[in-house]
Chains A and B, each alone.
Chain A
Amino acid sequence: MKVQKLALIFFKNHSDFKLECQEDVVAIAGLNGVGKTTILDAIHYLCLGKSYFSSTDVQCIQTEELQAGIIAKLVGDEDVSLKVKFKRGGRKVIEKNGVAYKRVLEHIGQFLAVVIAPGDIELVYGSNETRRSFINQILSQVDRKHLLDLMKYNKLIEHRNKHLKQESVDTALLLALDEQIAPLALSIYTKRKEFLEEFCPVFEAKYHQLSGEKESVRLMYTSQLDHSSYMDLVDVNRNKDLAIQRSFVGIHRDELDIEIGDLSLRKFGSQGQVKSGLIALKLAEYEYLQKTCDKNPFLLLDDIFEKIDEERAQVLTQIIKNDNFGQIFITDTNQDRLNQFCVAIGKSYKLITLK
């Protein structure tokens, strides 16, 4: 599946942007601030119904405007038109071939995208929440039930936390919530475990390919549910819940850490290891989605050469050249470097320069 036409209206720094492209590689050059990344974000939006770089939809609407939209024509086994519209204070609407989905989540999983961007560094140094969202996002694209479980789980925990902040806490009400939370927590936990068993070997292989090293690499997963059931845990920690007025127990407290050679990458990794680790994580995400869904995700590369050294850039270019990828969108401030990349990949490409 390829994007053939793309139009952005009042979306971030593009008031009226149009792009026609059928090539395997779409390379976007230009200085900082001209809206290169916005184009990648628009592709991400079309696939996942949300921005990769901004946390809310409103941030993606130009300040003077009331609404924004992304329109695209995709070609492949069948031609598809996609449209995303969102308003200030309004509901987001996604249309496929002119028909709006009842719920945005019905769209998720049909079109896949993987982003590699400088901000990914947060996956190493950020909180567990960042790493949890990383795997949540992958799983949400391949497993609708998991996405629904997560949404319901989060809603129930929100209810629970709100009630824990009341002056008098009704333990029977906590129990009524917990009885609904328990099966969801177990199914999310089980799914995460299953996923990581499949994902970690891919991650390790990608890391070895990128770094030329043979160290063991994994996403280390620890959960309170490793040793007890949710119901037992809440029972034991009831007083703690009441004291901190928040839900102390559950899969929203799961920990994920990236380990290289049995050491935490966050704490002990060299700069080189961190760079290889991050790209390996993203390439593993790509391969996992590709194999599980049996289709090629879009690969969105944002300013990657700026942040990685020459040697790694060469290896990455080789991997992209040799392995099977879907349409690639890539940005760079350096037009020559971008041109070299396009030539090295050896596929059809279109290079545009934004001003």
Chain B
Amino acid sequence: MSTSSNLINKAVEQLSKFPGIGQKSALRMALHLLKRPEADTVELSQAILKLRTEIKFCKQCFNLSDADLCNVCKSPSKDQGLVCIVKDFQDVIAIENTGQYNGLFHVLGGLVSPVDGVGPSDVKIPELLERVSEGTITEAIIALSSTLEGDTTEYYIAKKLKALGVKVSTLSKGISVGGELEYADEMTLARSIRNRVSLDS
């Protein structure tokens, strides 16, 4: 896109890098900023900059966090013996939003996929096992998508956790066929958390 101002062109170029934002929308956003008071834009850019430079990963569960421990891990009302194992942050948000779950999380950051060269130690599985061997966790819910990679990761983790004496269950399958947790609607997700299937057999 080319306008009369190189400043606008530059902003449009950057804004259109967002997912789902084309050049036209980017231009609208840029013009919107110019219409609003300058202070608004300063606040926005500071928020963005702080987000990017100050965000941390929780040392315990690898969720996004402001401090060493995230808000979920810090919350005294959470069941410290229960952990839900998910692929990424969106899954934490989806499960928290159901209001049906009152335990901790463990964010793997990916799924085991040997074809793509992703082994168990390339996601946060060693950290999970270490965390569990430290003692407080007695029950784990594995909440991964029902894809081939999700299943492989689930089988792997379930075996390892059971060997450590942890009670393991999984979300009832078919919550969103072939889809990811983040797309499952809250009611289905809530139901599948309540109806989780024990893998102790």
A residues in contact (CB < 8 Å) with B = 152, 155-156, 158-160, 162-163, 166, 170, 172-173, 175-177, 179-180
Contacts and interface: CB of A to CB of B under 8 A. Distances in A.
B74 interface: no
B142 to A, nearest CB: 12
27 contacts: A152-B148, A155-B115, A158-B115, A159-B114, A159-B115, A162-B115, A163-B114, A163-B119, A166-B119, A170-B119, A172-B156, A172-B159, A172-B160, A173-B112, A173-B120, A173-B152, A175-B156, A175-B159, A176-B152, A177-B114, A177-B152, A177-B155, A179-B155, A180-B148, A180-B151, A180-B152, A180-B155
B114 A162 contact: yes
Which of A156, A159, A176 gathers the greatest number of chain B CB atoms within 10 Å?
Answer: A176
6 closest Cβ contacts across the A-B interface? A176-B155, A163-B114, A176-B156, A159-B114, A162-B114, A162-B115
Secondary structure dominating the interface of B: helix
Interface residues of B, number: 15
Secondary structure dominating the interface of A: helix
B175 to A, nearest CB: 19
B117 interface: yes
Interface in B151-177: 151-153, 155-156, 159-160
Contact of A173 (B114, B117, B151): B114
B65 interface: no
A166 B114 CA distance: 9
A306 to B, nearest CB: 43
Contact of B119 (A152, A173, A175, A179): A173
Contacts of B155: 175-177, 179-180
Contacts of A172: 120, 156, 159-160
A157 to B, nearest CB: 10
